[in-house]
A and B are shown apart, each in its own frame.
Chain A
Amino acid sequence: MKDTRILIIDDEPDFSALLAANLEEAGNFEVREVNDSSKSLEVARDFKPDLCVIDVVMPGLDGGDVVSRFRSDPDLKEVPVIMLTALVEENPNRPDGETITGGLPFVSKTSDFETVLACIEKHLLEAEE
């Protein structure tokens, strides 16, 4: 089975590296990191991810900008996106801890890796369907 490609866009290389490491250890994930958000579209077109995990607060293009560019790109507009940010808290009322705002799932950066993973898997499943 071909590895599922996850693109992590975050200006924090340490965080993206650790998340990538966890994902790679957790399953069949091919993970690529983008720490400079201005290159995210370019990388994504090349990488063709199955799902994007995008930070919100970033210098230059922020998460919202990146999402809107993805949405206006014919190849990328269907790619599921998870906003992983320190701006929100884990929603205690949902097992995936996400909060849907403006049609986008927001997950707290401080959520357990398992919660983040559950959220990613859920959206991958939804995307497959």
Chain B
Amino acid sequence: MADLRDVADDGAQSGADGKGAATAGDAGVAGGAAASPGVALAVAGILAVLVLVVVPAAPTAVRILVGAIAMICLAGLAWRRSRGGVAAGSGGEARVLAERLVERNRELGQSLADLQSDHAKLEHYFDTLMENVPAHIYFKDERSRFLRTNRKMAAVFGCSHPADMVGKTDHDFFDAQHADDALEDERRVMRTGQSISGKIEQETFKAGDRERGWVLTNKMPFRDRNGRIVGTFGISSDVSDLVQARRELERERNMLRRLIDSFPDSIFVRDPGRHYLVVNRAMAGFVGADSPAEMIGRKPEDFFREMAEGGPEEDLEVLASGKAVVNREWSHPNAAGEVRQLMTTKVPLLDREGRCWGIVGMDRDVTEQRQAREQLRESERRLQEMMDNSPAVIWMKDLDGSYLMVNDGFESLFGLERRDVLGRTDHDILADKEAAARFREHDLEVISGGRARQVDDRLYVDGEPRWFVTVRFPLRDVSGRIHAIAGISTDITDRKHDEESLRRLNEDLVKANENLQRAQEQLIQAEKMESIGRLASGVAHEVKNPLAMIAMGLEILARRIPEEDDKATETIERMKRGIERAKKIVKGLVDFSSARQLGLQAGDVNGVVREALALTEYQLRKAKVEVVEDLAAELPPVDIDTNKLEQVLVNLVINAMHAMPDGGRLTLRTTEDRLEAVDRDEGARTKGHLREGDRVVRIEVEDEGTGIDPAHLKKLFDPFFTTKPTGVGTGLGLAVCRKIVELHRGTLELVNRAEGGVRATVTLKAAEP
């Protein structure tokens, strides 16, 4: 603004100069009419005017003084002219007067020439002034019509010559509003005689193609020689650039102000005495001041009750060294009393000469960041703690495979310290490059798949293969982008071993359970047999006595029946047959119950087989059964009770015979074998005494009969179970046979042969050599 005022002042002075010049012009014209003795006065007046014209910048006092000199000169000239007229009127001196007149006339002519020359000079000065001053200069009459303008103005107003503007008004050039305003101003100037100086206004031309320009105008009353106001004159300069500059400056200032006020950080400028020069709203808000203005001129101590250590000293240091303090952290309560964590930067302000004239600074409230950082650290610490307390191996890698985090489990597994692992890849830390490549491959699968994956993997640790199950999963940032990958590996080697042992143990258990079950079945069976046996022997004994009585009684009765009494004889015979049948059953029961202990001794199985065949030879022949003897040439001795085994074989042979009521082939085979696997089928319940690898002797009795109904297989060995017609079998044969074989610690099994018929196999353990 100061600059603009200067411009306005200059204009006012120019106006004053213009007025001076016009006055001088009038004085010059007046001076031209004086007699030759008044030349000196005239010259003095002209000189005075010239001084005014040539030295336009002369102070007002000087101008007034010079003007007065001019007026005195003019007055002198006037007085001399009136005195000369009186002299010419005297009587005796007519010739002298004439001579003087001629002289005077010559002098006057000379004077006039001089005056004309001076006038031309003045005119030239005026024109020079008009056309060269970088402003619009104009004179208007009392109705604000242009009297004269300078060329520059005419050109701007669109006229080719100043003369074209004469008689026109502002309304011819400007829009109505502006022309009216200007007219009003000029009227006031004429009415009051007061100049309007330094007014900045916007000129708006009528023609739309002209820009609106800003001008600084001065309007002054235009007076005639008598001092009467006859119009106005003025001078105006284009200050569009200045106005523009000022506006930009203002805008910039506003912008900067707004900028610093809108900053959430506290911003301040302090002079070397630590007085605030500039403070933004945030800072005022922080200390609880009503406005930034309240803080201006005051010191930090007035607002920061608990001034942080090194406050004034720090300012002095900055001022003295010219070095900035950057991001110093400290804390201070804010207006609400909450302690805030602040980060301060102070920078010295230097003038052109490099002298420090103040400090600009900024306090940033980093409380939230610090809290967030602290929370982050805390959560990272917790995470690390959780990871470290897990027995699993836990790690986190970036997308390039560099480790970001590992836990204690990782360290101890690989024998590496955390600092040697972080920032490095598997390739860097693992000797097993193949494993490293495999891990990377798994990692990339997770990164590209974007989903967790579980992999069982083997890794050599201290040369020992160990099994791990690893769950890898991608880690995503808030936008969902995968930025890392993490994994949890669990050493399942022991588990695998345990599983294996458990599996084996389970198998053993299942086996043991089966054995136990079988043993239990056998035990139950044995107990059943045992009790049945005891019962049977008791029953047998008790039944045999009355049976014996009946038999004895029948003997007596039979002798007393007359031979011709057929009926009685037949009755006796039937009764005897009944006794025989009862005796047979009792005998079977007794056999069964008496088969409890054996007299074992090493014997030849083939011999027993032959004996059994000899005992049954007659019956077999009668039943048209062909006997095939397929006996091993040499058999190891077997611990046997010859009589009992013979009883078994006779029983089996008779059974086979009964299975072939129309005759057929009966094969008796003996073999030596080593027991490979103890098979378990329905017909075999008595393998308990034999083990894999035992050397055994087998006796097989095969028939070509109808076979055994599968439904009967299980009941074969139950006492009193029989499929034979009533009276033919006692149902005790196989039960007794099995009991006897069991007492030999062998097995007896009956199976249906694939080719038809039944195979009964007695397996006996060979005697220990």
Q: Judge whether A18 is part of the interface by a CB distance below 8 angstroms.
A: yes
Is the Cβ of B547 less than 8 Å from the Cβ of A110?
A: yes
Is the Cβ of B586 less than 8 Å from the Cβ of A110?
A: yes
Task: For chain A, residues 1 to 45, give those with C-beta under 8 angstroms from any C-beta of chain B.
Answer: 12, 14-15, 18-19, 21-22, 25
Is the Cβ of A109 less than 8 Å from the Cβ of B590?
A: no
| Contact A109-B555, Cβ < 8 Å, known A86-B540, A89-B587 | no
Is the Cβ of B559 less than 8 Å from the Cβ of A25?
A: yes
One of A12, A14, A22 near B556 (C-beta < 8 A): A22
- List chain A residues, Cβ under 8 A from B548: 15, 86, 109-110
Q: Which residue of A lies closest to B582 (CB)?
A: A110
- List chain A residues, Cβ under 8 A from B591: 89
One of A21, A25, A57, A112 near B541 (C-beta < 8 A): A57
Is the Cβ of A86 less than 8 Å from the Cβ of B552?
A: no
A110 CA / B547 CA spacing, docked (Å):
7
Is the Cβ of B544 less than 8 Å from the Cβ of A109?
A: yes
Shortest distance between the CB of B54 and any CB in chain A (Å)? 181
- List chain A residues, Cβ under 8 A from B553: 18
Indicate with 1 or 0, residue by residue over A89-118, a CB within 8 angstroms of chain B CB atoms: 100000000000000000011101100000
Q: Judge whether B2 is part of the interface by a CB distance below 8 angstroms.
A: no
Indicate with 1 or 0, residue by residue over A65-100, a CB within 8 angstroms of chain B CB atoms: 000000000000000000000110100000000000
| Contact A112-B545, Cβ < 8 Å, known A89-B587, A89-B590 | no
Q: Judge whether B274 is part of the interface by a CB distance below 8 angstroms.
A: no
Q: Which residue of A lies closest to B550 (CB)?
A: A18
Q: Judge whether B549 is part of the interface by a CB distance below 8 angstroms.
A: yes
A93 CA / B548 CA spacing, docked (Å):
21
Q: Which residue of A lies closest to B548 (CB)?
A: A109
Q: Judge whether B623 is part of the interface by a CB distance below 8 angstroms.
A: no
Q: Which residue of A lies closest to B643 (CB)?
A: A93
Shortest distance between the CB of B589 and any CB in chain A (Å)? 10
For the complex, would chain B's binding face be called helix, strand, loop or mixed by DSSP majority?
Answer: helix
Is the Cβ of A86 less than 8 Å from the Cβ of B541?
A: yes
Is the Cβ of A19 less than 8 Å from the Cβ of B547?
A: no
Q: Judge whether B518 is part of the interface by a CB distance below 8 angstroms.
A: no
Shortest distance between the CB of B759 and any CB in chain A (Å)? 28
Q: Which among B542, B545, B547, B549 has the greatest number of chain A C-beta atoms within 10 A?
A: B545
Indicate with 1 or 0, residue by residue over B547-581, a CB within 8 angstroms of chain A CB atoms: 11101110110010000000000000000000100
One of B545, B556, B559 near A86 (C-beta < 8 A): B545
Is the Cβ of B549 less than 8 Å from the Cβ of A110?
A: no
One of A15, A89, A108, A113 near B555 (C-beta < 8 A): A113
Q: Which among B545, B552, B591 has the greatest number of chain A C-beta atoms within 10 A?
A: B552
- List chain A residues, Cβ under 8 A from B547: 109-110
Shortest distance between the CB of A63 and any CB in chain B (Å)? 13
| Contact A15-B545, Cβ < 8 Å, known A86-B540, A89-B590, A112-B551 | yes
Is the Cβ of A15 less than 8 Å from the Cβ of B549?
A: yes
Is the Cβ of B552 less than 8 Å from the Cβ of A18?
A: yes
- List chain B residues, Cβ under 8 A from A19: 552
- List chain A residues, Cβ under 8 A from B178: none
- List chain B residues, Cβ under 8 A from A112: 551
A22 CA / B591 CA spacing, docked (Å):
29
| Contact A12-B549, Cβ < 8 Å, known A21-B556, A89-B587 | yes
Q: Which among A25, A89, A109, A110 has the greatest number of chain B C-beta atoms within 10 A?
A: A110
A109 CA / B556 CA spacing, docked (Å):
16
Shortest distance between the CB of B232 and any CB in chain A (Å)? 174
Q: Judge whether B583 is part of the interface by a CB distance below 8 angstroms.
A: yes
Chain A to chain B contacts (Cβ below 8 Å), 29 pairs: A12-B549, A14-B549, A15-B545, A15-B552, A18-B552, A18-B553, A21-B552, A21-B556, A22-B552, A22-B555, A25-B556, A57-B541, A86-B540, A86-B541, A86-B542, A86-B544, A86-B545, A89-B587, A89-B591, A109-B544, A109-B547, A110-B544, A110-B547, A110-B583, A110-B586, A112-B551, A113-B551, A113-B552, A113-B555
